[in-house]
Amino acid sequence: MTSAGPAATTSVLEPYALRVEHLENPIGLDEPRPRFAWRLRTSGAGTRQAGYRVVVSGGRGETAWDSGRVASDDQFEIGYAGVPLRPFTGYTWTVQVWDADGVAGAGAEGTFETGRLERPWVARWIGRDRRDRPAFLAPADDDLTWNTRGLPAPSLLRTTFDTARAVTFARLHITARGLYEARINGRLVHDTALNPGWTDYQRRIFYQTYDVTSVVRTGSNAIGVVLADGWWSGFVGYDARNAGRLYGTAPALLAELHLTLADGSTQVIRTDETWRESAGEWLHADLLMGEGVDARRRPEGWDAPGFDDARWRRALPFGDDTATVTGATTPPIRTVAEVAPVSVRNDADGAAVIDFGQNLVGHLRLRIRGAAVGQFIELTHAEILDDDGRLYLENLRRAEARDIYYARGDAEETFEPRFTFHGFRYARIAGLGAELDPADVRAVVISSDLEEVGAFDCDSPDVLQIVSNTRWSQRGNFLSVPTDCPQRDERLGWLADAQVFAPTAARASDVSAFFATWMVDVVAGQSPDGAFGDIAPAGPWMGEGAPAWGDAGTIIPMMLFDTYGDRRQLAQSYPAMVRWVEHIRRANPDLLWRERVGSNYGDWLHAGPETARDVLATAYFANSASLVARAAAILGHAEDELRYTSLAQEIRDAFVAEFVREGIITSDTQTCYLLALDYDLLPADQVPGAADRLVQLVRAAGNRLTTGFVGVSKICRVLSAHGHDDVAHALLAQEEYPSWLFPIRHGATTIWERWDGWTPEGGFQSANMNSFNHYSLGAVVDWIYATLGGIDRVPGSVGHREVLVRPRPGAGVSRAAAGQETPLGRVATSWELVDGRFSLDVELPPGARGVLSLPTADLASVSDGAGGSVAGEVAVGPHGEVEIRVGGGRHRVVVDGVAPGVPAPAGTPLRAAR
C-alpha cells in the first residue's frame, strides 16, 4: 500500500511530563543515581526522537552532570552519571531533544531535591509511655464498644524555637512509627493523609519532606504533631491477636526541621526529650475501628507559639535507631475527590441515613450547627443496605467503621476524622437532634495519589459502568499498598489479587512507583528457603505463598519492565525471582507442583467446576520459570537464560504428559484451558483444539463465566488472541449470574469480591468473607482497553514503543474512544461503526510504531476515507485480518462492509491494493 505520506511540517518535538524516579519534581529523594524520563508530543506526524541531552544543575547553579548530546531514542531509564549528589540540595534538570533530521525540539525543565542520602539523623524517636496513663475514656462508657474502649488515644507533641533572622529555606523531614499530622504555627503543613504510609516497618520506614519556608517566621515559632497508632500498633488484619502489637506497642515520632537563614547560617530543630506531650481531644483513633473525638477537650492554640504547656509531660525518648528510615519512593495518600449525598432520609430512630450513590473509601466531613455542649453524635458506615433498608454491617466483621464526636457547643463546628478510613456508600448519623442539611455532609475520598493516565468512553452504559466500578475499586484499594478490601478487618496486600489486576491498574493510573515500592516489601517477605508469601507487607502472615499468590514475585517485576521499562526494579527483584523458582523445583523434582504449595487456594472463588489445583500450580510454575528466563535475557545472564528456558520447557512437557489426554486437560474447566493457552503450555498442534474446547465450555455455561480470581483476568484476552472476539463480547454483555453485569443490575458501583455477593435467591453470601469493593474481578478492563478501546502493546515491546491498535466492535458497542499516557507519550483511538462502515482515528506519540489491526480480511475495503489508501506497510494478522504498520502521528482508516460483532474470516488472503 503506497501513499505520498503526511505533508511536511514545521512542528518540533516537545518533552512533557518530566519524571525523576517515576515521580514529578520529588522532594526528599534518597536515590544517589536517580533515573530521568519524559514523554513527547508534536503537532506533526512521523517525527521521532533521535537524540537527547540532559543537564543537571545544583543548588548554586553549578553543573552536576551534562550527558552531552546522546544519539538515542530512549525517553526513560536515563540514569544520572554525574558527580555525587549532595544531601538536602535542590537540583534543576533540563532535557533537550533532537528529531531524526537533527532539528532541535523544545526544551523542558524539571526539579528534584535530595533527601538525607544516608546523612545520619540527629533527631531521636519520641512519644509517650502508655503504662503511666490509661487510655482516655469517653465521658460515658456506654458510648464506646468493647473494641474501642481499651484503645489508646493519639498524643499531641510540641516544641518551640526562635529564629533571629528571616528564613530563606525550610524543610521538615518527618516520619512516625504510626501516623502523624504535622503543624507549624497553627497551620497544617501537608495535604497528605495517613502518613508515612505502610511498609514492612521492620525493614524500612518512609519519611516525607515538606517545604515549609512560607510557614516559619522570624521570631517565635512552634511545631505541633499529632501522633496516632496506624498500622504500627493499631488493629491490622483479621486476627485479634494482632491488635496493638503488630510492629510495636506504642507509636513514636522522628522529625528534623532544617532552616537556612538570610545570613546563610543554618539551624536544625529535632525531636528529643525536650519536646512536650499531652492528650488532646481524641478518645481513640484506629484504622479499622474508627475515631472518637471529644471536642470539649481540644487545647486551643497548642500548635502555636505562646501556648502554656507547663502542665504537659516531657516526651519519652524511644531511642535513636534510624537505620530503617528512608525517603519515600511512592506518591502519598491524599484526598482525591469529595462526593455529595444523592439522598438523605430519617430512619425510625430519627437518625439520618445518607446514600452517596457510590461505594467509596475515606471518611465523612460533617458540619454541625447549634449542638449542645457534650452532645453525642455517632457516624456509622456501610457498603450496602439490608432488606429492611438498614445499614448492613455483618460483613465488616470486627471492623467497626464507627466514628463518634462530643460537640464543643459552638454555633458551628466540623467533625472530620483523620486517622481512620472506611469503605462505604451509606452512612448513618445519629444524635444531631435536627434534620440534616445535605449541604452539611460530604464523603471525602482518599487514595494513593497516582497520576490518572487512562480514559475510556463508548456508547454502552453497561461497559462504562464496568470500567467505572473497576476504577472506583482500584481507587479505594490502592492506599499505600494494594489492599484486598477497604471495609472489613483485613485490608491486606494479597499478592494474587495484585498480580491479576496489575495490567488493569496500569490502564487507569501510573502505577510504576506504587508497584515498584510494594515489590520491595514482597521481596522482603521472602523466606530464607526462597518462598514468597501470600501477603505483603508480610507482618505475622508469613508462610509459603500459594500458586498464583507467590508467583506475583515473578509476574509484577516483568509487568513493570514491559509497561514502564523499569530495568532497575527487575534487576533488584531478579535474585528473589530465581530463589522462588528454585524453591518450587527442589520440592517437586518431577516438575509437577504438588508439594510446598502453601494454602493452595486454587482458582479462588470460582463460580463453576473446580480447576484441579495441581494443574493450576504447575501452569504457574512453568510461567514463573519462563519469566525468570526472560528476565535473565534482559539482564544479560546468559547461563541463567539457558537454564530457565530449558526448565520451563521441561515443566511444559511434564504438564502435557500428566494432565492432557486426547486434547482434554484434567478437570476440563475454563480456567485450565486459559492457563494452558496463556502460558503456552501446549504443543502447537494442540492449541486450536484447546481454544475450541474453551469456547465450548463458555457456550455450555450459557455464555457465562465459571472462573475465579485466576481465570478472570485471562478469559477475554485468551479468547480474542485465538480469534474468538465474539465469544469474549458475549461474556461481557452477559447479565445473568455469574457475570460482570450481574452485580451492576443489582446496584453495584464497585467490583464485588464474589460473583454472588448477593443474589435474589440467596440474599447475602457468608458475612465471613463478602466484600462489595474488591478489584480482582475487574481485571477484564485491561481487555476492554485493548479490544474495545483498541490500545495494546505488541507482544515483546517495552513501554508501548510498539502499539497494537486492535479495536473490535461488539458487546453492543458501536462507538468507542480511549486514551493512554505511555512512557513515550499519549496514545489515543476513536472509532465508530455506522451502517457497515468502520472509521478509526489513531494518534501515536513520536517514536512509537503502530500495528493497525482491522476487523476485515479484505484489503480492498480499506481506505483513508477520502478516496486514497492508508500509508503504511501491509501485513496479514494471525487470523487473516488486515494489518497496517505505521509510525508516530495521526492516522485515519476506514473499512467498509464490517458487521458488528462478526470476526474477520480467518485465513482469507488479502486482495491486492487498489
DSSP state of 130: G
Q: Which of 446, 556, 558 shows the shortest CA–CA distance to 505?
A: 556
Q: Which of 444, 395, 449, 397 shows the shortest CA–CA distance to 420?
A: 444
310 CB-near residues (< 8 Å, 6+ apart): none
Contact 447, 333 (CB under 8 A): yes
Q: How far is CA 817 from CA 39, 254, 458, 513, 863, in A?
A: 21, 49, 6, 27, 20
User: 554 is written with which cell numbers?
Assistant: 515473578
Grid cell 515498584 is found at 516
User: 420 is written with which cell numbers?
Assistant: 481512620
| Beta pairing class for 276-279 and 155-163 | antiparallel
3-state SS of 539-580?
A: CCCCCCCCCCCCCHHHHHHHHHHHHHCCHHHHHHHHHHHHHH
Residues 720/721/722/726 CA torsion (nearest 10 deg) = 10
Q: What are phi and psi of 108, to 5 degrees?
A: -145, 155
Q: Which of 484, 163, 148, 426 shows the shortest CA–CA distance to 288?
A: 148
CA 711, CA 603: separation in Å to the nearest integer? 7
Can you name the residues that pair with 870 across neighbouring β-strands? none
Contact 111, 92 (CB under 8 A): yes
Grid cell 463480547 is found at 729
**End-to-end Cα spacing for the chain:** 8
CA 402, CA 910: separation in Å to the nearest integer? 65
Burial of 710 (0-12, 13-18, 19+ CB in 10 A): buried
CA 658, CA 663: separation in Å to the nearest integer? 12
Q: How far is CA 889 from CA 11, 691, 827, 849, in A?
A: 12, 36, 10, 9
CA 267, CA 101: separation in Å to the nearest integer? 53
CA 153, CA 151: separation in Å to the nearest integer? 7
CA 748, CA 717: separation in Å to the nearest integer? 24
Per DSSP, the residues of 866-901 read: SSSPPPSEEEE-TTS-EEEEEEEEEEEEEEESPPTT
Grid cell 525517603 is found at 327
Three-state DSSP at 402 gives: strand
635 CB-near residues (< 8 Å, 6+ apart): 567, 570, 571, 574
Contact 731, 725 (CB under 8 A): no
Using alpha carbons only, give the angle 36, 38, 40 rounded to the nearest 5 degrees: 160
Can you name the residues that pair with 273 across neighbouring β-strands? none
| Beta pairing class for 90-99 and 376-382 | unpaired
Three-state DSSP at 23 gives: strand
CA 375, CA 329: separation in Å to the nearest integer? 43
CA 439, CA 368: separation in Å to the nearest integer? 11
Q: What are phi and psi of 728, to 5 degrees?
A: -60, -40
Structural element, H or E, at residue 703:
none
Cite the active site residues. 490, 753
